[in-house]
Amino acid sequence: MTLAEQLPDAAVATRATVRDWREAVQLAGRGLVDQGATTERYTDEMLQALDDHGPYIVIAPGFALAHSRPSEAVLRAGLSWVSLAEPVEFGSEANDPVSLVIGLAAPDHQSHLEVMAELAGVLADDAVLAELMSADSAADVRSILNRVAHGDAASTPEDSGM
């Protein structure tokens, strides 16, 4: 299953407005709950992990991967996508502020690693990341992810005649 196929409309919020990192993670958690991947307890577990361990989920400049350990609160694998209208600080000296929070629920460690590898491939391309950050809808996010999954390069204004 591709990344795009793992992002139903209920799991995507584009250009969301939040007050702080906690609200951003709660929004990512809501996307997981709304698609039936987790219970609300998983969101609480994600927040508790951040309270306990600090901003370890901020894994690249501007990007946080909100997750917790596999638990009974994970009903099935799932992803959520939250791009922020205004970046927020998570307390990561190296990678703040954060503009994109992806929620990840995995029933086991292997599933977690597979999704991480696929995400890393997509998000390592600055042009693709910029395109994804400017997406206005779940359909736009999925379209970009599908294009990248099929090996198509990011489009540029020159490509479209702009």
Query: How confident is the prediction along the chain (162 residues), in pLDDT tens digits per residue?
Result: 677 888 899 999 999 999 999 999 999 999 999 999 999 999 999 999 999 999 999 988 888 999 998 899 999 989 999 999 999 999 999 999 999 999 999 887 777 677 777 777 777 788 888 888 889 999 999 999 888 877 765 554 444 333
> Please, what is the end-to-end C-alpha distance for the chain in angstroms?
34
Query: What positions carry a catalytic annotation?
Result: 67
Q: For residue 10, what is the DSSP state?
A: G
Burial classification of residue 161, based on how many CB atoms lie within 10 Å of its CB (0-12 exposed, 13-18 middle, 19 or more buried):
exposed
Q: What is the pLDDT of residue 160?
A: 39
pTM for this entry: 0.85
Q: What is the pLDDT of residue 134?
A: 85
Kindly provide the residue ranges of all beta strands, DSSP E only, lying in the chain, ordered along the sequence. 12-16, 58-60, 63-66, 78-88, 98-105
Q: Which domains are present in the chain?
A: 4-149 (3.40.930.10)
Q: What is the pLDDT of residue 156?
A: 45
Q: What is the pLDDT of residue 14?
A: 94
Amino acid symbol at 156: T
Q: What is the pLDDT of residue 153?
A: 54
Using CA atoms, how far apart are residues 123 and 80, in angstroms rounded to an integer? 15
